[in-house]
Amino acid sequence: MPVSFETGDIFATPGLSSYAHGCNCAGAMGKGIAVAFRQHWPAMYEAYRRLCMAGEFAPGDVFVWEEGTVTVFNLGTQLSWRTKAEYGAVERALSEMLREAEVRGVPEIALPSIGAGLGGLEWPRVRVLLEAFGAATPIRLRVCETFVEGVPLAA
């Protein structure tokens, strides 16, 4: 299914129940959209932190959190907040996320421009990756390309 690149705020969009974001593997969600994920799902953050501290979450891994009707895919895109994200890690994590989403029957996932903000990757290159993965899956990927706080996503 084609990827939609949208403007708005994934957390202000009614009807969404599955989200993804890129994160480091050092147990920190202290900047960017990761802070909002930590605030929305504090128990998820604690479980993620424990995985990282135990050395059980590496670049390319996906930590899936289910809470009520919500599914969150935490994508390991970079080793720590001090290092840049890696294209290979983004690719592996996207592949695993989509596999996990299919198993769980997730029809759509909202996500930011993973790896391209604080992760330091080139957005045009990440966008091409997302387009390729989107074309190969029945799962709708709704990518927030331009963040506008409090405004529902719109193409």
Q: Which residue matches tokens 């009614």?
A: 14
Structural domain count of the chain: 1
Q: Is 91 among the domain residues?
A: yes
Is residue 151 within 8 Å of 7, Cβ to Cβ? Answer: yes
Q: Is 80 among the domain residues?
A: yes
Q: What is the dihedral of CA 10, 14, 18, 21, to 10 degrees?
A: 10
Tens-digit pLDDT string for the chain (155 aa): 789 999 999 999 999 999 999 999 999 998 889 999 999 999 999 999 999 999 999 999 999 999 999 999 999 999 998 899 999 999 999 999 999 999 999 999 999 999 998 899 999 999 999 999 999 999 999 999 999 999 999 97
Q: Is 152 among the domain residues?
A: no
Q: Is 132 among the domain residues?
A: yes
| CATH code, domain with 64 | 3.40.220.10
What is the per-residue pLDDT for 1?
75
Element (H, E) at 131: helix 123-135
Q: Which residue matches tokens 């969404």?
A: 16
Tell me the H-state helices in 29-110: 33-40, 42-53, 87-104
Helix or strand or coil: residue 41?
A: coil
Q: Whole-angstrom Cα distance, residue 37 to residue 65? A: 11
Q: Is 154 among the domain residues?
A: no
Note down the domain range covering 103. Answer: 4-147
Nearest to 93 by CA among 130, 136, 42: 130
Q: Is 155 among the domain residues?
A: no
Q: Is 153 among the domain residues?
A: no
Handedness of CA 135, 136, 137, 143 (dihedral sign): negative
